Structure 1
Amino acid sequence: MAKKRILIVVTNVPEYDKVGYRTGLWLGELTHFWDVAERAGFSMDIASPVGGRIPLDPESLSHEVLAELGTGERYEDREFMNLLEDTRRISEVSVEDYDAIYLTGGHGVMFDFPQSQDLETLMARFYESDRIVSTVCHGATGLLNVRLSDGEPLVRGKRVTGFSWPEEKLAQRARAVPYNLQEELRKLGADYRTADRPFESFVIEDGNLITGQNPGSAAAVAEAVVRKLEAVPA
């Protein structure tokens, strides 16, 4: 029986365009997902729009954040962190090698995910071949420009979530980000939903599309992906 595989996509962008803040991958959105999927027996690969070394959002490396849900243990794991030293390019990835795709966040993705034609093509192929498409937090920006073979946006008419505008304001990034993710999803016809309170873990499943609202939702997204993968015969 073939072992199911998951492709994880991360950002290459280390800073914002309009301000001097540094950004990159929000590490916990990778590690929390990885921990759940690894325990379930799935193998994973990491790719990025242009490949190579991945920048980390410095705020995701604070002592307080690293102490949550074991992120610090992964950060101390040299072998694990080496996975971010030389990631594959999206253009080198074959859909046929994977059963699911997961887009991580961190504000960097707002700049490169929607600009990557390779990622848009890959996401459409995953979805239209009945594979699982999942995102967390700002990773939902990777859905914004995805069109299916009929020309319709992937998210049109779908129930989705992603980092909310109230959360953006609370994170003090509303003036720094290039657009309002919540509104952009709604403009495309998505049925955008949020948790009752900012930063609560919140996940929506709409068929094979699984989206999580914020960093604290990464583990729950992984659990939803694992459930779906385990329900499908290998």
Structure 2
Amino acid sequence: MSLKDVNPVNAAKPKRVAIVIANPAVSTTTGWSVGFWWSELTHPYLAFTEAGYEVEIFSPDGGRCEPDAMSDPRDPSGYSETDLISMGFIATPRLAALVEDTKPVSDLAVANFDAIVVAGGQAPMFTFETATTLHETFVAFYEAGKVAAALCHGTAILRYAELSNGEPLVRGKTVTGFANVEEDFADNAVWSMGALPRDKHVMPWRIEDELKALGANYIQAGLWRGFAVRDGNLVTGQQNFSGAETAAKVIEALGA
């Protein structure tokens, strides 16, 4: 098998990447409004555009998307106040407008793109189960030999992605995603604030546990460390601090 067979990208044209962000939802565990995470969109977007790629933004249902509040650098919590890349994106009207009217994944033609990147945030954990068109599109990228990437809770897609033969796409693959130690940290944070009873968890299930159960070789780099891994044309990033690392692996896989 030649490199061309593995990665059918026309080097004579700018490479094209589809970034998928989650539609707004309400958490069934906390009752909070949840959405996508800014840095998981903006950091890859910057890396790809600086590499000369064309980038389009999609969501499973299309339309206006909402970020998780704590991912906004302007949020009173101050959690993301040092995220100057996201602040620059938000403060640029042309870019900020991109999340106001996203294209539905049903309009995403695999033949027109070289890679798909599924960003996270909290919403994927509650909405991706029914996003069947996204499941099919992600697998179509992978089976076409194109780059299929996901990061943080966007790796929830791997719980549902099945190959044409019915096997889990992730079986036998080395991957990462939001780690149990990070879920523990998040749970303890909301418990300490009294925002959630100690018998409740922020997330309805856990990425690390589910990927292992599906036969993946799950690895991680430790609490809140930027980390991404590539296994062939499958790329995964650990959490919201891994956007640049994930983009770098995608660029590496595309050969430029």
- TM-score range relative to shorter protein: over 0.9
Pairing partner for 2:175 from 160, 167, 183? 160
- CA deviation profile, 1:137-172 (whole Å, cap 9, x unmatched): 001001111111111100000000000111012122
Match of 2:40 among 5, 11, 29: 29
TM-score, normalised by the number of residues in structure 1: 0.94
The residue that corresponds to 1:9 in the other structure is 20
1:149 aligned partner:
164
Report the 3-state secondary structure (helix = DSSP H, G, I; strand = E; otherwise coil) of the residue aligned with 1:121.
helix
Give the Å deviation of 1:47: 0.8
Answer yes or no: is the 8 Å Cα contact 1:14–1:56 preserved in 2: no
Distance in 2 (CA, whole Å) between partners of 1:11 and 1:133 is: 16
Q: Distance in 1 between matches of 2:154 and 2:47?
A: 18
TM-score, length-scaled by structure 2 = 0.86
Residues 181 and 171 of structure 1: CA distance in aligned 2, closer, same or farther (over 3 Å): same
Structure 2 runs not aligned, ≥5 long: 1-11, 191-199
Distance in 1 (CA, whole Å) between partners of 2:98 and 2:151 is 20
3-state DSSP class of the match of 1:162? coil
Q: Within the alignment, does 1:67 sit opposite 2:88 as a pair?
A: no
**Alignment equivalent of 1:212, drawn from 232, 237, 243:** 237
Specify the code of the residue in structure 2 equivalent to 1:90.
V
For the residues of structure 2 that align with 1:64 and 1:177, how far apart are their CA atoms? 19
Alignment of 1:180-219 (within 5 A): 180-195=206-221, 197-219=222-244
Matched residues in 2 for 1:53 and 1:85: separation?
4
Sequence identity percentage: 37
Instruction: Name the amino acid aligned to 2:140.
Output: R
| Offset of residue 69 of structure 1 | 4.6
Deviations 1:184-206 (A, max 9, x none): 111110111111x2000111110
2:59 is aligned with what amino acid? S
Structure 1 residues 88-117: Cα deviation after superposition (integer angstroms, max 9, x where no partner)? 111121100100000000010111223211
Equivalence for 1:139: 154
| Distance of aligned partners of 1:165 and 1:202 in 2 relative to their CA distance in 1, 3 Å threshold | same
* Higher deviation after alignment, 119-128 or 13-22: 13-22
Q: For structure 1, which runs of at least 5 residues remain unmatched after alignment?
A: none
- Distance across 1 between alignment mates of 2:144 and 2:232: 13
Q: Does 1:96 align with 2:118?
A: no
Give the RMSD, CA atoms, in angstroms: 1.4
Report if aligned partners of 1:26, 1:106 keep a CA contact under 8 Å in 2: yes
Q: Are the equivalent residues in 2 in contact too, given 1:146–1:153 (CA < 8 A)?
A: yes
- 1:48 maps onto 2:73 in alignment: no
Greater gyration radius: 2
Q: Indicate if the aligned counterparts of 1:104 and 1:138 stay in contact, CA closer than 8 A.
A: yes
Which residue pairs with 1:227 in the alignment? Answer: 252
Q: Which deviates further from its counterpart, 83-92 or 56-65? A: 56-65
CA distance in 2, matches of 1:49, 1:64: 27
Letter in 1 for 2:14: K
| SS of structure 1 residue aligned to 2:242 | helix
SS of equivalent to 1:113: helix
Tell me if 1:18 matches 2:26: no
